[in-house]
Amino acid sequence: MAVENNQYFSKTIEKGLIILNLFDRDHPRRSLTEISQITGINKTSVYRFVNTLVKLGYLTKNSSNKLLKLGPRAFVLGHNFLHSFDLLQGVKPLIDKAFIEHKITIDSALLYEYTLISLYRREAPNIITFRLPLVMDNLYARAMGKAVLAHINEAELSRFLGTAPLKKLTSKTFVQKEAILKELELTKNRGYAINNE
């Protein structure tokens, strides 16, 4: 992420946050060497950043293999974000009302870059459902992601399709831009998305 030169911008904090953002569902554990190679930050500095993040609880280090993963403070920070987020307070009563009237599963999420962050969910009674992860990527291959992509403006969609990594998750995953655009048009026209993975 490019940031304008600003005398009040802390490059040190930026580097620490870049390191934290390396940990995701596809890469829950990382080594110091891997972090240094990906970020371009020298290994000595990475060691300092990582040890600070471990000491503060944002990362934990496995004592036997030295691999790092997100720590409990990272979870608490995300949890606090969701509960202090104004949009959640606006969405919750609408979902609760629709749930009471229709008794169907309803999800809400926030689009941030190429990721959906689950805000609030009500599940239909007596139905076995697959729980969505709190954070979802691969939007082109998920029903909720398709529903969102079908309704963003053309410039944003073009940027997404031009820069997001499109990888085949199953034999049914559309990774060709034309096929994805066709699926999104169908989604928009019918008013709901289908997860055909």
Domain boundary among 47, 77, 107: 77
Long-range contacts: 149-154, Cβ < 8 Å, 24+?
149/180, 149/184, 150/184, 150/185, 150/187, 150/188, 150/193, 151/188, 152/111
Angle at 114 between CA 7 and CA 42, to 5 degrees: 50
User: Do 95 and 39 sit in the same domain of this protein?
Assistant: no
CA distance 169 to 70: 25
User: Do 108 and 38 sit in the same domain of this protein?
Assistant: no
Please determine, for residue 130, whether its predicted confidence score (pLDDT) is greater than 70: no
Domain boundary among 77, 98, 123: 77
Quote the tokens at residue 173.
């995953």
Please determine, for residue 32, whether its predicted confidence score (pLDDT) is greater than 80: yes
Residues ≥6 apart with Cβ < 8 Å to 152: 111, 160
- The number of distinct structural domains making up the chain is 2
48-98 pLDDT per residue, tens: 999 999 999 999 999 999 999 999 999 999 888 877 878 878 889 999 999
Which phi-psi region, left, alpha or beta, contains residue 155 (left: φ > 0; alpha: ψ -120 to 50)? alpha
84, part of any domain: no
DSSP E strands, the chain: 59-61, 68-70, 106-112, 115-122, 135-136
pTM: 0.66
The CATH number assigned to the domain holding 44 equals: 1.10.10.10
User: Do 103 and 179 sit in the same domain of this protein?
Assistant: yes
Quote the tokens at residue 84.
């202090």
5, part of any domain: no
Please determine, for residue 136, whether its predicted confidence score (pLDDT) is greater than 90: no
CA distance 194 to 188: 11
Domain boundary among 21, 44, 77: 77
Q: Can you tell me the mean pLDDT for 29-33?
A: 97
Question: Which has the higher per-residue pLDDT, 23 or 4?
Answer: 23
User: Do 95 and 57 sit in the same domain of this protein?
Assistant: no
User: Do 117 and 171 sit in the same domain of this protein?
Assistant: yes
Q: Can you give the pLDDT at residue 112?
A: 85
Q: Which range of residues forms the domain containing residue 102? A: 90-190
Q: At what angle do helices 32-39 and 11-20 cross, to 10 degrees?
A: 120
Q: Can you give the pLDDT at residue 29?
A: 97
